Amino acid sequence: MNNLLSRGAIAAIFRGENVSCPVLQLLACKKMNAAASGKAVDRYRLMLSDGEHTCTAMLATQLNEMVSTGELDVKAAMKLKNYSCNPIANDRRVIVVLDLDIVKKGSEIGVSIGDPTPMRAPGQGGAAPAQQQSRPDSTVSHDPPQTARPTSYGTGAPASATPNKQGTFYGQSNSAMGGSTTSPKKVQPISSLTPYQNRWTIKARVTNKTAIRTWSNARGEGKLFSMDLLDQSGEIRCTAFKDMVDKYYEMIEIGKVYFVSRGTLKPANRQYTSINNDYELTFNNDTMVEPCVEEDVSIPAVQFDFKSISHLEDTPEDSMIDVIGVCKSTSDLTAVTIKSSNREVNKRSLQLVDDSQKEVSLTLWGKEAEDFDGSGNPVIAVKGARLSGFGGRSLSVLQNSIFQVNPDIPKAHHLKGWFDSEGHSQDSQSISTRQGSGGGGGANTNWMTFHDVHAQNLGQGEKPDYFTVKGTILFVRKENCMYMACPSAECNKKVSENGDGSYRCEKCSKDYENFKYRLLLSANVADSTDNQWATCFQETAEQLLLKSAQELGSLKDQGEATEKEFNQVFQDACFIDYMFRMRIKMETYNEEARLKCTCVSAQPINVRDYTNKLIKDIRLMASA
């Protein structure tokens, strides 16, 4: 038992030695109540022992759960895989435990090992204070350091006046702007950074962090990630390349505060960022990033610089802007094939409205599009959306954007109140004239009757035409409404039966043991003027039939037993009204030109939108 602890480790750490993975015993653990201390989260104060000395430590909040679950109990022996030793007032030190492994549970040990006495900071002649962290690749040291010397107690110079061996030191109590008088190295505001100085330290919150991305071009290849840093004075975008990615990617967490010192500052290109700074920061070999272990509420959270939607009309295309609005409606999820890369990606458009009574279309991509739920008209805030010129003006959420749903900020509450009380019933004008496939029904929808569609020869051009029509389902074809599709999530291609119970997908060039049903439904849609056959793919077809492809497939598979029920599905789908968003295009099939109409979305009639359309029609007739 006596060999369990790293004897002498605490003295060595206090002298500034790099003690790797010391094993210490937890003698006491006290919860510092968050509410009482005015902090955001509870903190645990620990008393640790190496068998010779005890010292005070704080548990990093991400490890709080180890205490609350009982995993870390009093008398436990723990290996400090990552920690820092920081000076506090009166030359005292506190160890902050950043990562640990339990070596033996307290319930198994049961006693305090050795007869430790309280450790105090080294005095004059002692080594510098440590701000070091153990390296993950260093060897585990259970043995007491061979170099251990008798601890000298005394009244030396303030520990915090001595830089450590890395040459930097910052008191953890510094504010972002001034720094305490005991700190030799001032933390300076982000807004003061320029390329013309190279020794600086900032204390900033990470407000955004990208995934690691790789690139390969004529100038070489590599990987990078970028992050946004914020303090009271401003913000800056930082990028880490290659080695720096390995060094810092894991450490950086969104929302946390870090000390960052040194790095390369270069002019920012506003085309690629909405971060309000003339410069960007690139990490280099001299860059040091260290987590600030105490949550500092004086370092603010995400900063927006919202532009009203009406303002976007006269903002240049391709600008990066911050926007906030109520999500008035959303389109269905649609898959888009990217021409350049032949990749498929999901997208969804939202219609945002604000109290300038203007609407704009905002496109989400990939997972953000898939996960988005617009029910209940949430407030959407985006930092760093790209303003495109499509259909007038529309917005796109990029990788670097911060996308927030119902953010807890005053402007969001204001807009929600506005929308609930009056905005929802007011007319708003979209600055995105051609909407995504959403159909919408807003002021700029191109409403058509089938008569007009045919009379105006829509779909004859090179590009397909889109229109919205209020129509009624007259008939849906049950024959061939389903096909056996490749079971792989990304592939929906038709499979063929191999005859041995397996299924062949030619697109994947692969045999599968199963398949999934996909719907490909022909529906005859009519309004008072004419009718049109339209093709409905999976999602819209499921919507019109009020059944999933899987359910319908199972009814079909059961044959006669469920034939009646199967047929009923198609009966029930008829004579229901929808607002259809249609795509129409003339296509040549077996040397025969045929007008192909695809239903992009079908939505229940929005009475307000449809009534507005009728009122407009009536006004037009009256003025004619």
Span interacting with DNA, options 129-137, 180-188, 211-219, 453-461, rule CB under 7 A: 211-219
Residue from 233, 284, 356, 357 touching DNA (CB under 7 A): that is 284
Binding status of residue 533 toward DNA by CB under 7 A: no
> Six-digit token pair at 406?
């119902």
Binding status of residue 329 toward DNA by CB under 7 A: no
Helix, strand, coil share (%) of the chain residues, nearest 5: 20, 35, 45
If the CB atoms of residues 48 and 360 are measured against DNA, the closer one turns out to be 360
Binding status of residue 262 toward DNA by CB under 7 A: no
How far apart are the C-alpha atoms of 413 and 420, rounded to whole Å? Answer: 11
Binding status of residue 274 toward DNA by CB under 7 A: no
How far apart are the C-alpha atoms of 23 and 51, rounded to whole Å? Answer: 10
How far apart are the C-alpha atoms of 25 and 12, rounded to whole Å? Answer: 16
Give me the residue label for tokens 């720094």: 179
How far apart are the C-alpha atoms of 304 and 30, rounded to whole Å? Answer: 39
If the CB atoms of residues 386 and 613 are measured against DNA, the closer one turns out to be 386
- The contacts of residue 35 (CB under 8 Å, 6+ apart) are none
Residue from 35, 38, 219, 410 touching DNA (CB under 7 A): that is 219
> How many residues sit close enough to DNA to count as binding (CB under 7 A)?
47
Residue from 280, 322, 354, 609 touching DNA (CB under 7 A): that is 280
- 549-557 and 563-572 are packed helices; what angle lies between their axes, rounded to 10 degrees? 140
**DSSP, res 130:** P
Residue 437 CB, nearest distance to DNA (Å)?
6
- The contacts of residue 190 (CB under 8 Å, 6+ apart) are 202, 204, 229, 230, 231, 233, 234, 235, 236, 277
How far apart are the C-alpha atoms of 210 and 398, rounded to whole Å? Answer: 10
Binding status of residue 345 toward DNA by CB under 7 A: yes
Binding status of residue 338 toward DNA by CB under 7 A: yes
Beta bridge partner(s), residue 390: none
Residue 353 CB, nearest distance to DNA (Å)?
18
Strand order in the sheet with 503-505: 496-497, 503-505, 510-512
441 in Cβ contact with 610 (< 8 Å): yes
Q: Which of residues 445-474 bind DNA (CB under 7 A)?
A: 463-464, 466
If the CB atoms of residues 219 and 564 are measured against DNA, the closer one turns out to be 219
Binding status of residue 392 toward DNA by CB under 7 A: no
How far apart are the C-alpha atoms of 313 and 292, rounded to whole Å? Answer: 42
> Six-digit token pair at 537?
């793919």
CA distances to 509, 512, 514 from 498, rounded to whole Å, are: 13, 10, 11
Residue 224 CB, nearest distance to DNA (Å)?
5
Residue 395 CB, nearest distance to DNA (Å)?
9
How far apart are the C-alpha atoms of 135 and 21, rounded to whole Å? Answer: 9
Residue 203 CB, nearest distance to DNA (Å)?
22
Residue from 215, 298, 446, 565 touching DNA (CB under 7 A): that is 215
**CA 21 to the chain's CA centroid:** 34
Residue 219 CB, nearest distance to DNA (Å)?
5
47 in Cβ contact with 9 (< 8 Å): no
If the CB atoms of residues 288 and 345 are measured against DNA, the closer one turns out to be 345
Give the x-and-dash track for 581-620 against DNA (CB under 7 A).
--x-------------------------------------
Residue from 30, 149, 199, 213 touching DNA (CB under 7 A): that is 213
Give the x-and-dash track for 394-423 against DNA (CB under 7 A).
x-x-xxx-----------------------
Q: Residue 397: enclosing H or E segment and its boundaries?
A: strand 394-405
**DSSP, res 518:** E
Residue 284 CB, nearest distance to DNA (Å)?
6
145 in Cβ contact with 17 (< 8 Å): yes
Span interacting with DNA, options 48-56, 73-81, 153-161, 209-217, rule CB under 7 A: 209-217
Residue 352 CB, nearest distance to DNA (Å)?
14
Give the x-and-dash track for 154-193 against DNA (CB under 7 A).
----------------------------------------
Q: Which of residues 85-144 bind DNA (CB under 7 A)?
A: none
If the CB atoms of residues 95 and 244 are measured against DNA, the closer one turns out to be 244
Binding status of residue 282 toward DNA by CB under 7 A: yes
If the CB atoms of residues 367 and 493 are measured against DNA, the closer one turns out to be 367
Give me the residue label for tokens 């790797």: 20
Residue 362 CB, nearest distance to DNA (Å)?
9
How far apart are the C-alpha atoms of 471 and 531, rounded to whole Å? Answer: 9
How far apart are the C-alpha atoms of 148 and 13, rounded to whole Å? Answer: 10
Give me the residue label for tokens 């033996």: 104
Span interacting with DNA, options 385-393, 475-483, 533-541, 552-560, rule CB under 7 A: 385-393
Q: Residue 592: enclosing H or E segment and its boundaries?
A: strand 592-603
Give the x-and-dash track for 222-251 against DNA (CB under 7 A).
x-x-x------------x-xx---------
Give me the residue label for tokens 């507005």: 612
CA atoms within a 13 Å half-sphere pointing along the CA-CB vector of 267: 3
Binding status of residue 366 toward DNA by CB under 7 A: yes
How far apart are the C-alpha atoms of 72 and 26, rounded to whole Å? Answer: 9
Residue 542 CB, nearest distance to DNA (Å)?
21
Span interacting with DNA, options 139-147, 213-221, 350-358, 374-382, rule CB under 7 A: 213-221
Residue from 2, 181, 340, 588 touching DNA (CB under 7 A): that is 340
Residue 386 CB, nearest distance to DNA (Å)?
6
Binding status of residue 564 toward DNA by CB under 7 A: no
Span interacting with DNA, options 109-117, 267-275, 506-514, 609-617, rule CB under 7 A: 267-275
Residue 104 CB, nearest distance to DNA (Å)?
45
Span interacting with DNA, options 124-132, 382-390, 423-431, 507-515, rule CB under 7 A: 382-390
What is the three-state SS of 91-102? CCEEEEEEEEEE
Residue 315 CB, nearest distance to DNA (Å)?
16
How many separate helices (H) and strands (E) can be counted in the chain? 13, 30
107 in Cβ contact with 153 (< 8 Å): no
Q: Which residues bind DNA (CB under 7 A)?
A: 213, 215, 217, 219-220, 222, 224, 226, 239, 241-242, 266, 268-269, 272-273, 280, 282, 284, 334, 336, 338-341, 343, 345, 347, 363, 365-366, 386, 388, 390-391, 394, 396, 398-400, 434, 436-437, 463-464, 466, 583
